[in-house]
A and B are shown apart, each in its own frame.
Chain A
Amino acid sequence: MKLALLSDIHANIQAFDACLAHAREHGAQQFALLGDLVGYGADPAAVVERAQQLMDEGALLVKGNHDQMAVTPPAQVQTVGDTTAAWTHAQLSADQLQFLDQLPLTLQREAVMLVHASVNDPALWHYVYDERAARESLDAAAALPDVRYVFCGHVHLQTLYYRGASADLMKFLPTAGVAVPVPRHRRWLATIGSVGQPRDRNPQAMYAIFDTEKLQLTFQRVSYDHHSAAVAIRQAALPALFADRLELGR
């Protein structure tokens, strides 16, 4: 079975639809959305609606920090990440806010653990930027029975962490479209990148496909209409920074 893993969609309906279509073309039979459906982008209602449909069809969803912020926007804006929370809150219906609010922080399906940030204290939203943070998340997951794979988002970059010849974790930067073997006798942690706001200087949307039979993980990059997504952000009078960065991929 091919499981498509999508994260950090950030209210970017153009990128979301492009990745869903790409995944279906590549044989994805199930979808997992790893949080941050909203925030930054101009189409939160459309993205949440699409996510609700997917969930009705059996998709797996976990909550991200921006989903949490949209439900209860911070009283005072402290970081650039907070700036769109109140606007997003206003765009969503009560039903949609409730949908976001009830999403779980983690979800385990057999050997796979899904989380937005880190399995280690998921509600604290630790960033997995390096081997040390990856190890903390993987160690927390190893305390649960049977977990071999941790898939997460939050950092907007595609990286695979694995154990090499020693006990320490190693960091691997994948090439898009290459099916990487991830056998079960090792433990793996992948940050699968961001659908709606890639930050590696390449504007293409990121997601990944996990083949649960062949035990292969394929990181994907998808071209989408980032121009329209940026125009929508400017028209909604959201900070121009969020539109500019879609065009630059940073």
Chain B
Amino acid sequence: MKLLESGTELDGFTIEECIHSGGMAHIYHVHYSEGARDPGFPLAMKVPRMTAGDGAENIISFEVEHQIMQILTGSHVPRFVAAGDLENVPYLVMEYVPGQTLDHWLEPSERPPVKGLAFLGAAVAIAVHSLHQQNTCHLDLKPANVLIRQDGSAVLLDFGLSCNALYPDLLAEQLRKAVGSPAWIAPEQVVGVRGDPRSDIFAVGVMLYELATGELPFGSPRTTGGLRQRLWMDPPPPRKLKPDLPEWMQEVILRCLEPEAAKRYPSAAHLAFDLRHPDQVTVTERGRNVQGTGFGVHFKRWLKAAGMQYQPSPLPAHQIDEVPIVMVAVPYKDVTDATLYSLRQAVARSMGTRPGARLACVTVISGSQSGSSSDGSETSLQRKHIAALRQWAQPLDLPGQQTSYHVLESGDVAQALVNYAVGNEVSVIVVGAATHGLKMQRFLATVPIKVAMDAPCTVILVKQALPFEMLTQQAGAAKAALDPDLDVPF
């Protein structure tokens, strides 16, 4: 397709200037022609290059992007507007999102400091998670395909190589060739696996590595042999190239870049969590190492990789459901040992059935109490509460499952818990029902109810186990106390 002239009309859209001319497509600013409705946001039209000389994969990519854009929702993808017929003039019209792609921060003068890097990384991870929740794997994440809005949120672009598990994958083929951009694709993509959400986590790792060091971890290989290197090879540790990078950040980046998908973050929400809570990242040898991986380890992995081949992936949404972030609200006052015990039992049950889950233990203290320091460092009061949380969690004994501890300051306990759950993509909230044994019952009982009503996810209300005869007494007492006109929300 040759370049369209400014002012051309196409199916009710007027073409403006061409804003991008890539290998696969031209992108234009467009607007609805005279008299048509105003969509309320600016529009862009993507027209695939499809002349006789262009490969069939351009056409299939167009079909794939059309199929997937129609069903994606949410703020992390451009809104879909219209599509042209494949047999006439193929095009996609979508929301034009103003902002800058991650390429901007790769300029040597714009390279972000660690805090900025963590911020960008978390924004990308949240966007990727939202895609995975819609059963879609992007599979072609690279700086040019990630746009950061003015407000700091990320928008993902270009779904031409993506895969949605609810639709036939038009790019899949029996021979299982690698599809994607060589610098960023994950090892399993090299052997033709399409549809593992952890492939996108690998690509985010490559981008973080680039933003941190200015280098690509695996270069830009041009041969299959060069591509296959990442099946067994670790890249040079980022701190070897940039010694002032903190260990925790290297730990995060290299965990994303693990050759085996099972050793990476199990979901993008877990990755965002670490980027937002650097003090909670457990630094291992992976984060400290500045020498690089030895020959022996690489050789063993090389042998293993020689036998690596395609395996089908389960539905992305199911896969990330298996690795929830579980949050438990642990009260620090007016709470009996029995309640704390029951809470711990409930957490143990939730975590026990999900080996990849991570646990966030949260306590809320009122804002005025701590006199929190302006520089954001921990106050002694926060340290005291974190120590108490650790002590509470200690008997849980969750080998291999990440646990972190958080003290929130707020006058509104329920709102603070809900905000935390929303902000950290929490899948399950475990909270005490606080229905008995408390002096401040009338006041505190509203917290779990409010959490249950406002939470974006499953809420497990934990009641302290009592002998049956006591339960009947309590029920009788509760009945007598209930005002018959009271409208109870559940």
Contact = CB atoms under 8 A, between A and B. Distances in A.
Q: Do A and B come from one complex?
A: yes
Interface of A: 131, 160, 162, 164-166, 168, 170, 172, 175, 178, 180-181, 183, 185
Given A170-B168, A180-B167, A185-B87, A165 B63 contact: no
Q: Which of A160, A165, A170 has the most CB of B within 10 A?
A: A165
Contacts of B175: 166
B173 A165 contact: yes
Interface string B250-262: 0000000000000
Interface in B198-245: none
A162 B167 CA distance: 11
Contact of A175 (B57, B86, B166, B170): B166
B280 interface: no
Interface string B32-67: 000000000000000000000000110010010001
A194 to B, nearest CB: 22
Contact of B173 (A164, A181, A185): A164
Given A183-B63, A185-B87, A170 B166 contact: no
Given A165-B60, A166-B175, A183 B169 contact: no
A82 B11 CA distance: 59
Given A170-B173, A183-B86, A165 B168 contact: no
Interface in B73-98: 86-87
B168 A185 contact: no
B297 interface: no
Given A183-B86, A185-B86, A185-B87, A164 B67 contact: no
Nearest to A170: B172
Q: Which of A164, A166, A180, A185 has the most CB of B within 10 A?
A: A164
Contacts of B87: 185
B167 A170 contact: no
Nearest to B165: A175
B171 interface: yes
B171 A165 contact: yes
A181 B67 contact: yes
Contacts of B171: 164-165
B167 A164 contact: no
Contacts of B150: none
B109 interface: no
A131 B170 CA distance: 15
Given A170-B172, A170-B174, A185-B86, A165 B57 contact: yes
B67 A168 contact: no
Nearest to A162: B168
Contacts of B86: 183, 185
Interface of B: 56-57, 60, 63, 67, 86-87, 166-175, 177
Contact of B169 (A166, A170, A175): A170
Nearest to A182: B168
Contacts of B177: 165
Q: Is the interface of B mostly helix, strand, loop or mixed?
A: loop
B235 to A, nearest CB: 30
20 contacts: A160-B168, A164-B170, A164-B171, A164-B173, A164-B174, A165-B56, A165-B60, A165-B170, A165-B171, A165-B177, A166-B174, A168-B173, A170-B169, A170-B172, A170-B173, A172-B167, A178-B167, A180-B166, A183-B63, A185-B86
Given A185-B86, A185-B87, A166 B168 contact: no
Contacts of A185: 86-87
Contacts of A168: 173-174
Nearest to A178: B166
A131 B173 CA distance: 12
A160 B87 CA distance: 24
Nearest to B85: A183
A165 B167 contact: no
A61 to B, nearest CB: 28
Contacts of A162: 168, 170
Contacts of A181: 67, 167
Given A164-B170, A170-B168, A180-B168, 18 more contacts: A131-B174, A160-B168, A164-B168, A164-B171, A164-B172, A165-B57, A165-B170, A165-B177, A166-B174, A170-B169, A170-B173, A172-B167, A180-B166, A181-B67, A181-B167, A183-B63, A183-B86, A185-B86
Contacts of B60: 165
B458 to A, nearest CB: 22
A185 B60 CA distance: 11
A166 B60 CA distance: 11
A185 B56 CA distance: 13
A50 B173 CA distance: 43
A181 B66 CA distance: 10
B167 A166 contact: no
A160 B67 CA distance: 16
Closest 10 CB pairs of A and B: A166-B173, A172-B168, A165-B173, A168-B174, A164-B173, A164-B172, A178-B166, A162-B168, A175-B166, A165-B171
A168 B86 CA distance: 22
A180 B168 CA distance: 8
Nearest to B66: A181
Contacts of B56: 165
Nearest to B172: A164
Nearest to A166: B173
A166 B174 CA distance: 7
Given A181-B67, A183-B86, A185-B86, A165 B172 contact: yes
B166 A164 contact: no
B83 to A, nearest CB: 11
Nearest to B71: A178
A241 B121 CA distance: 57
B349 to A, nearest CB: 27
A165 B168 CA distance: 12
A185 B170 CA distance: 13
A180 B70 CA distance: 12
B355 to A, nearest CB: 25
A185 B67 CA distance: 15
A164 to B, nearest CB: 5
A175 B167 CA distance: 9
A159 to B, nearest CB: 11
A166 B191 CA distance: 16
